[in-house]
Amino acid sequence: MDRAYLSIAASEVSALSNYELYGQLAAKLPFAVEPTQRAAWQYQIEHLRQLSVALPIAHFFVEFLIPRMGRRADLVIVKSGIIFVVEYKLGALQFDRTAQEQVYGYGLDLKHFHETSHKLPIVPILVATHASEARKPSLHWDDDQLAKPICVGPDRLAAAITSISAEIDCIDVDPQKWAAGRYRPTPTIIEAAQALYRGHAVEEISRSEAGAQNLAQTSDYVAAAIETAKTEGRKVICFITGVPGSGKTLAGLNLATARQRSHEDEHAVFLSGNGPLVEVLREALALDAIAKVKEAGLSGSKATEDRRAAAFIQNIHHFRDEALSSDLPPIEKVVVFDEAQRAWDVQQTSKFMQQKRGQIGFTKSEPEFLLGVMDRHPDWCAIVCLVGGGQEINTGEAGIEEWLRALQRSFPHWQVHLPSTLGHDCSIEEEVRAPALHLATSIRSFRAERLSDFVGEILAGNAETASEIEMQLENYPLLITRDLHAARAWLRTRSRGQERSGLLASSNGLRLKPHGIFVKSKIEPAKWFLALSEDIRSSDALEDAGTEFDVQGLELDWSCVCWDGNLRRGRDDWDFFRFKGNRWEAVKGEAQRAFITNAYRVLLTRARQGLVVFVPEGSDEDLTRPRGVYDDVFAYLVRCGFRRLPLR
């Protein structure tokens, strides 16, 4: 795959006309060049000609792919062993902070995910074509040889690059070998959704050859099953499982976007019962679409983009409620159910239907009802179930077993495709087993392949095993502190560019209130995950804590988990409590204990790059915050491998 639309040495630029250079760029686009893109390229070609004279031994890559973000940097210049990433803002009168974070993000992407860039100095540069420069740009380096973004006008770009090249003694690199280096991107689910929605292939944005191949094989298998069902006029359901962080949601989004692009008449939809995930992804897609429209110099409506995003990503409960109001088949022929194991069992569904919808005597589980809704289609339809495990945090979640029971009991005519690794004995007549339906490669964290294992051992009470795993997480900071201010300060020093940090706490962490953590104060998920740090509703403001219900299925780069007394360390095992009224009550039920365990499992696995745990000191005057409880948790987590964060 070509990394750039145009790769050319400075010495070769003069041999080509502007028309020829433009033609090479335009030939890479699968659609007609929009007027604003044409104007941008014409400007950049003229500027490239000037740069080629001033930088005769440089190599230029125009429209260089940044896979994790699904975007292309305007220009990458390789000179004297240094990588300069340049972003143009045509007509800009100032150096916008968002634009600086954008080009900084490009630099971070190369540093983290492009193997031949790991050990090279990288300098992000923002060029605002009509901004006045107040002073000569100064260079500040991060520890990993990534510079903070510098801002220059177009006339100063070549001089800035020449000056930086003279200051740093680097071994020259072969530009083509550098560009051909393996890319191992790890997008957040938000970045992945945006990239897929724009039309990028899953191979462009998924980490590692194994991960990309696994995802592509899964997508191809399901697509083939859907096409067969369509041709033969039958109904099919495919179950996709995977190891933690293997990209099940990414696979579902990829399937839904691919069907939408190629088969509009199917009205493929991605359904999730995770309300915050739906809200955040919808807003992210709408905002990204509006930004793309504005970049093209066109006018767009946020309301229109909101509707488009809402048609693509829907809350499964709204889908269910609409089906209750009519006996007609839904418009959707292909539906992807995210976290399908969280669908409700008969008891929970019946209780909800009676209390909230006035449906007396409702005797179906949610899987059986949803299957029945799709079964209304007279010809064909397809369901894709994404199945996770170990993160049940709500009462009445039925698991994959209820889907299989419903199929066996009421829908024997459906063809069922299951992963070969699934151990359930289904006894379903139309059953097909396939290795491609299990995602075996974790692609979540590029710094902590074994983070889920580490957290699992902590929650299983195996401190020694957890400590052994921690030794393998060399590039993933795992810190602990009794000082929340120190934790906040650490998070602020770690986040760069568009990276996000945030506070997390259990939904029953009610005695964190003396420390300013109010878990009863609900966050606005879209603002918390997407707003800029100056917005006090943003996670980056480090004011409001997200709970397990807010963040399941979503990610931060850096997080602080605030630990409360609902999960305590006993002599040899965990003790479970619930705060009710003005005191803690012991939790005895196994299901409720599992919810508390899984809440902390969710919280401890949200950070992609590093984690600090805040354990309060407790208070001798407050019986609801006994010092010994928090001291025991702190001591245990230190035994597991967490390192003490120095106090301020």
| Per-residue pLDDT tens over the stretch 110-166 | 998 888 999 999 999 999 999 876 566 788 999 899 999 999 999 999 999 999 999
When pLDDT is cut at 50, 70 and 90, the band that residue 424 belongs to is low
pLDDT at 93 (0 to 100): 87
pTM: 0.81
Q: What is the mean pLDDT of residues 344-353?
A: 80
pLDDT at 444 (0 to 100): 61
**Nearest residue to 289 via CA among 201, 200, 195, 202:** 195
Helix (H) or strand (E) run with residue 384 in it: strand 381-386
Residue 514, C-beta contacts closer than 8 angstroms, at least 6 positions apart: 616, 619, 622, 625
Residue 363, pLDDT above cutoff 60? yes
Residue 80, pLDDT above cutoff 50? yes
pLDDT at 202 (0 to 100): 65
The secondary structure of residue 397, as a DSSP letter, is B
* Domains of the chain, residue spans: 4-179, 209-439, 451-644
Assigned CATH for 451-644 = 3.40.50
pLDDT at 333 (0 to 100): 96
pLDDT at 429 (0 to 100): 73
Residue 209, pLDDT above cutoff 50? no
Angle between helices 248-262 and 189-198 (to 10 degrees): 10
Give the tens place of pLDDT for each residue, 403-423: 998 999 899 999 999 998 876
pLDDT at 561 (0 to 100): 98
Q: What is the mean pLDDT of residues 179-188?
A: 80
Helix (H) or strand (E) run with residue 576 in it: strand 574-580
pLDDT at 426 (0 to 100): 62
- Does 3.40.50 match the CATH number of domain 209-439? yes
pLDDT at 210 (0 to 100): 43
Percent of the chain's residues with pLDDT above 90: 60
Residue 89, C-beta contacts closer than 8 angstroms, at least 6 positions apart: 96, 99, 126, 127, 128, 129
Do 209-439 and 451-644 fold alike per CATH? Answer: yes
Cα 162 to the chain's mean position, in Å? Answer: 37
Residue 266, pLDDT above cutoff 60? yes
Q: What is the mean pLDDT of residues 258-266?
A: 88
When pLDDT is cut at 50, 70 and 90, the band that residue 398 belongs to is low
Can you give the three-state secondary structure of 546-561, one letter per residue? ECHHHHCCCCEEEEEE
Backbone angles phi, psi at 474, to 5 degrees: -65, -35
